């Protein structure tokens, strides 16, 4: 029986710039069990857009003493090893933010595998009215109290993929994995 090993990742950003990460959460899954979590605020080298603050509630004063991305990267880079599966809901956004932060600070891009739970949800649950994180969580009875809190969103993403594995197996999921 195949069991999933992956990291669920979620970023929140200060602006629309890819390097403006202001928070990051990771949820570690080993043998289809959540085994760890990581969360950090990040001090971006950008201003904040009011619209982004309204979405996630993180203000400039909240990150005034937070580490900058290179310090956070030192803590998490071991999770981005060759062939490690990194999962996100709307992975295109989160992988773009990761790449944008790494590029901005001239840090080498890691090589990893990516899986998007928006894509898996569209494939496995075509009948859902939409495939936003809160909708998928509601439909699957997965708790999501504070949408756009990076840690809550990472947990929800991990639980969505574990639900999909439990109900459909790993084969339909493997077909949607992309190299990064």
pTM over 0.85, yes/no: yes
| Of 25, 26, 69, 24, the residue nearest 46 (C-alpha) | 69
CATH architecture of the region 6-179: 2-Layer Sandwich (3.30)
Which pLDDT belongs to residue 146? 85
Average of per-residue pLDDT across 9-36:
95
| Of 59, 47, 49, the residue nearest 23 (C-alpha) | 59
Task: List, for residues 109-140, the tens digit of each pLDDT value.
Answer: 999 999 999 999 999 999 999 999 999 999 99
Which pLDDT belongs to residue 42? 97
Residue found by looking up tokens 């009948």 in the block: 127
Task: List, for residues 87-115, the tens digit of each pLDDT value.
Answer: 999 999 999 999 999 999 999 999 999 99
Which pLDDT belongs to residue 11? 96
């Amino acid at each position: 029986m195949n069991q999933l090993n992956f990291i669920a990742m979620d970023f929140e950003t200060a602006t629309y710039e890819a390097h403006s990460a202001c928070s990051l959460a990771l949820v570690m899954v080993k043998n289809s069990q959540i085994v760890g979590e990581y969360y950090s605020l990040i001090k971006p080298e950008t201003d904040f857009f009011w619209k982004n603050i309204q979405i996630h509630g993180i203000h400039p004063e909240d990150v005034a003493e937070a580490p900058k991305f290179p310090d956070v990267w030192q803590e998490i880079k071991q999770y981005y090893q060759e062939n490690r599966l990194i999962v996100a809901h709307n992975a295109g956004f989160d992988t773009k933010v990761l790449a944008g932060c790494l590029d901005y600070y001239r840090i080498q891009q890691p090589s990893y595998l990516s899986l998007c739970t928006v894509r898996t949800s569209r494939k496995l649950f075509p009948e859902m009215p939409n495939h936003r994180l809160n909708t998928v969580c509601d439909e699957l009875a997965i708790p999501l109290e504070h949408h756009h809190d990076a840690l809550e969103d990472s947990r929800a993403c991990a639980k969505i993929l574990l639900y999909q594995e439990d109900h459909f197996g790993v084969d339909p999921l493997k077909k949607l994995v992309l190299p990064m």
